[in-house]
Structure 1
Amino acid sequence: MRRQRSTKIVATLGPSSATVEQIRTLFAAGADVFRLNFSHGAHEDHAERVKILRALEEETGRPISIMMDLQGPKLRVGTFAEGKVALHAGRRFRLDLDKAAGDDNRVCLPHPEIFKAIQPGDALLLDDGKIRLKVMACDDKSADTEVIAGGVLSDRKGVNVPNAVLDLSPLTDKDRRDLQFGLDQGVDWVALSFVQRPEDIAEARKLIAGRATIIAKLEKPSAIQHLAEIIEMTDAVMVARGDLGVEMAPEDVPSLQKQIVRACRMAGKPVIVATQMLESMISAPAPTRAEASDVATAVYDGADAVMLSAESAAGQYPTESVAMMNRIIERVERDSLYRTILDAVHGTPDATGQDAITAAARQVAETISAAAIVTYTTSGSTTLRASRERPPVPILCLTSKIETARRLVMAWGVHTVKTRDARTFADMVQSAQGIVVKEGFGRKDDKIVVTAGVPFGTPGATNVLRIARV
């Protein structure tokens, strides 16, 4: 099965997409990567979905990528004596470590790391930003605040601290248990929530120990201050616009999204745009025009993937959501302006032989109207370099490692195929010629551009380019 587009679709699985038939239908509609949200569901539920996906992989002969999304730390207020209170603008409200039930004067905030990080003048956002407090005075155990934007606050609502870096690991005890479970199940990607600084990724990488690749979810403004270092440390990035939109002004999020996508493209790291992309399709069979434009914008910007959350996990129209996203992407990529906009952002290759070969492969493929660029890779680095170039022809990734094939499903323009080990470069070219035809990328006498690293099995050693005729 060959997709007729370069941008990939991530679909979240949930109650609306849990059965064999439902998941098979999502795949047929266009889902490339399947997300397991560990904020919800028991391990048994996720294990069953992994089992279904691996069986579907066998059935279709196509590598399927599985992402586990860790919940991360959840900062919440305590409980109220009457379950909820009304906070009014201009009133004072106290947050402290006292576990006693709260009232309209105070409530427990059982997170000492927040009190250690905040300063007078900082904002605190409650219940997804619906209620806004301003810190007037604080110490290590409490904060006196003024209500700036009031509302009804009920038990255990979330707290956001937009202007502070919290001394808090992105991995809770629950996350560590979930991570071990996911790695045992053989997930391909681990999405790390609450990333604030590069050290957070280093901590997760030590635990993962090469068994999966890491997606840094950018949902905190503090992470943006370390954007270059985080991109360097991670394997991929997710623009988590929902949480960013709570902690930042809404008008700042679109330009920030473009900055992140651009930075990831320059670095050759896959980037996913996520959250509320087709939100109205949770309960309606068609998106708003604004939502269609939102998906299109991410595609024009050159994002590797766009993601569905509740639309496919818990909505009434999961298959229709995937199909709609598929149609939007295909339509954008047919637009005569698409290549002009996409090519406006193009990084300068690093001064290495590997980057020089990959940049040349794109130019050669364009000049000779090649049917495809074929990359032979073990670690995936050769293929990711080709994807960074955003060539005007498909990228066919051949690898003998199923783990690499699954992970590279995420990358822009890449069609992965697990193949046997090649003994020589000539053997590999001959194999590529046959696979190009079998997978529907070319016909007899078409030209292909082949890149690889010789000797085979040396990660990152892209050093050969050849033009071949099918």
Structure 2
Amino acid sequence: MKRNRKAKILATLGPSSSSPKLIEELFIAGCDVFRLNFSHGSIETHRSNIKTIRQIEKKYNHATCILADLQGPKLRVGNFANKEEKLVKGDLFQLDLKNELGSKSRVNFPHPNIYENLTPNTILLINDGRIRLQIIEQKKDSLKTEVLNDGVISDNKGVNIPDIILPIDSLTTKDKSDLMKALEMEVDWVALSFVQQLEDIKNIKQIVKNKALIMAKIEKPSAVKNVDEIINAADGIMIARGDLGVEMPPERVPIVQKNIIKRCRSFGKPVVVATQMLESMITNLVPSRAEASDVANAIYDGTDAVMLSGESAIGNFPIESVTTMNKIIEYVEADKNNFDLEFETQELNHKIDNTDAITNAAYSIAKNAGAKAIITFSVSGKTTMRMAKERAPVQIIGLSPNIRTARKMQILWGVNSCFSPDSENATEMVNIACSVAKDKKLVSADDNVVITAGVPFGNAGSTNLLRIAKIIANKNLT
């Protein structure tokens, strides 16, 4: 299915959008990647949704991408005898390991492995930063704190600790179980929550073993500090602005977002901007003007994709949310005066390999010779990913004889990813490329296309061939 835009849309499935009818409507409205949030919903619900998505893929002959988002090690306080308590600025409040219901003066904080790392003056943020506590005395089994502002604390509220790298595994026992089930269901991407450092990516990659691509969620200041090595190790990045906006001042988040997008562009890795993009559409039919500008600015910055969370998962208007996001992207990309991603591709001057040389040449030919599309043959998807980095002015048609590769590449900027037969020689390659492009109505008669592939055919990582072909009605090439 041809989209009239290059940036992609991720939509989260949930109670508002888990029926086969609604999932198909989300796809038609513009959803390119379906996100399964393993913080919510049962495994059987996720399994059923995946089955529906694969049926839609077959019905529309369109490789469709699925991302499994793991919950991660979220820190939480325990329960209160009165369900909630009002804390007053200046009060003393204790977090401890006592397995007792909380009161106005204390609450259970069942994370014994981090107590010794929390020194006096460390700031604890409760309930998305609505309550701030400062540690004044630390013991192995308790933390005495001073309340820094008035607020209400209640059962199971989250705790953020922005100032330190915590000695906790980025994969909880639940995450490991969910991960195994997600891989069994053949998801295409796995998003790892609360990444802090390079080792978190290395650990999950050892478990996944190339069965899916790994997306690192940047939502802690420690991850921002280590962002280059995290980008380099991961297959993609998600800027998860919810927790990130709790753990650092909100005025810093837009700058961090722009910098991470720029770094991902430099590394040639896909980047997704997420959280509260059209938040008001959970209950309203139209977004706020600020939300529309938020989505637009992410597109102007060159993000590969933007994501809907609660808007599509629990909102009253899931289809309308996708439609609205689709329209915003189309309008931005049609803005010839301001939408220009070309200059950033010149940032890195480093030694290039054959794939870099071929994709650079394909970009130049497409731009200067009036080609309507660049068609990449790629077994592994690496050439298609490298081509997406160029932000070519024409659409990229990514062909792969591996359906799992075709699905994974659907998240990339400007790429219409297609499953195709493999070729044995250059003539067959051009025939297949032109046939697929015509059959999917991605090009028209008399259009020129640029085609890249590797010789010998069918081998991953060997892109070294470039051809130009002309589309002729009822034929494959000139």
Give yes or no for TM over 0.5: yes
- Whole-angstrom CA distance in 2 between matches of 1:79 and 1:446: 65
1:220 and 1:243 in contact (8 A); partners too: yes
Deviation string for 1:287-311 (max 9, x for gaps)?
0000000000111111110000010
- Whole-angstrom CA distance in 1 between matches of 2:6 and 2:338: 12
Q: CA deviation at 1:444?
A: 2.3
- Whole-angstrom CA distance in 2 between matches of 1:290 and 1:179: 36
Output the amino acid matched with 1:264: C
Structure 1 residue aligned with 2:411 = 410
- Whole-angstrom CA distance in 1 between matches of 2:388 and 2:326: 20
Deviation string for 1:195-250 (max 9, x for gaps)?
11111111111111111111101111111111011001110100000110111101
Q: Give the aligned length.
A: 469
Query: TM-score, normalized by length of structure 1?
Result: 0.98
Say whether residues 1:452 and 2:423 are aligned partners.
Answer: no
Q: CA deviation at 1:432?
A: 1.1
Q: CA deviation at 1:438?
A: 1.9
Q: CA deviation at 1:349?
A: 5.8
- Whole-angstrom CA distance in 1 between matches of 2:219 and 2:26: 27
Q: CA deviation at 1:170?
A: 1.1
Q: How does 1:147-296 map to 2 (within 5 A)?
A: 147-296=147-296
Q: Aligned to 1:179, what secondary structure does the other structure show?
A: helix
Output the amino acid matched with 1:380: G
Q: Aligned to 1:10, what secondary structure does the other structure show?
A: strand
Deviation string for 1:392-438 (max 9, x for gaps)?
00000111000000000000000011111101122101211222222
Q: How does 1:350-361 map to 2 (within 5 A)?
A: 350-351=350-351, 352-361=353-362
Q: How does 1:23-102 map to 2 (within 5 A)?
A: 23-102=23-102
Q: CA deviation at 1:164?
A: 1.1
Give unmatched runs, 5+ long, in structure 1. Answer: none
- Whole-angstrom CA distance in 2 between matches of 1:287 and 1:21: 24
Output the amino acid matched with 2:427: A
Structure 2 residue aligned with 1:10 = 10
1:79 and 1:154 in contact (8 A); partners too: yes
- Whole-angstrom CA distance in 2 between matches of 1:195 and 1:281: 29
Structure 1 residue aligned with 2:329 = 329
More deviation in 348-357 or 114-123?
348-357
More deviation in 131-140 or 185-194?
131-140
Structure 1 residue aligned with 2:344 = 345
Q: Aligned to 1:15, what secondary structure does the other structure show?
A: coil
Output the amino acid matched with 1:376: F
Q: CA deviation at 1:350?
A: 4.0
1:349 and 1:355 in contact (8 A); partners too: no
- Whole-angstrom CA distance in 1 between matches of 2:357 and 2:148: 55
Give unmatched runs, 5+ long, in structure 2. Answer: 472-478
Structure 2 residue aligned with 1:120 = 120
Q: CA deviation at 1:81?
A: 2.4
- Whole-angstrom CA distance in 1 between matches of 2:350 and 2:366: 20
Q: CA deviation at 1:115?
A: 1.4
2:423 and 2:458 in contact (8 A); partners too: no
| C-alpha RMSD over aligned residues | 1.2
Q: CA deviation at 1:338?
A: 4.0
Identity in percent: 49
2:311 and 2:317 in contact (8 A); partners too: yes
1:349 and 1:359 in contact (8 A); partners too: no
Structure 2 residue aligned with 1:442 = 443
1:382 and 1:462 in contact (8 A); partners too: yes
- Whole-angstrom CA distance in 2 between matches of 1:307 and 1:83: 33
Q: CA deviation at 1:388?
A: 0.2
Query: TM-score, normalized by length of structure 2?
Result: 0.96
Deviation string for 1:153-196 (max 9, x for gaps)?
11211100001111111111111111111111111110111111
Deviation string for 1:38-69 (max 9, x for gaps)?
11111111111011001111111001101111
Output the amino acid matched with 2:370: S
More deviation in 56-65 or 97-106?
97-106
2:217 and 2:239 in contact (8 A); partners too: yes
Say whether residues 1:401 and 2:411 are aligned partners.
Answer: no
Q: CA deviation at 1:142?
A: 2.0
Deviation string for 1:98-124 (max 9, x for gaps)?
222222222221112331222222110
Deviation string for 1:361-412 (max 9, x for gaps)?
1011100010101100000001001000000000001110000000000000
2:420 and 2:436 in contact (8 A); partners too: no
- Whole-angstrom CA distance in 1 between matches of 2:116 and 2:440: 57
- Whole-angstrom CA distance in 2 between matches of 1:411 and 1:349: 23
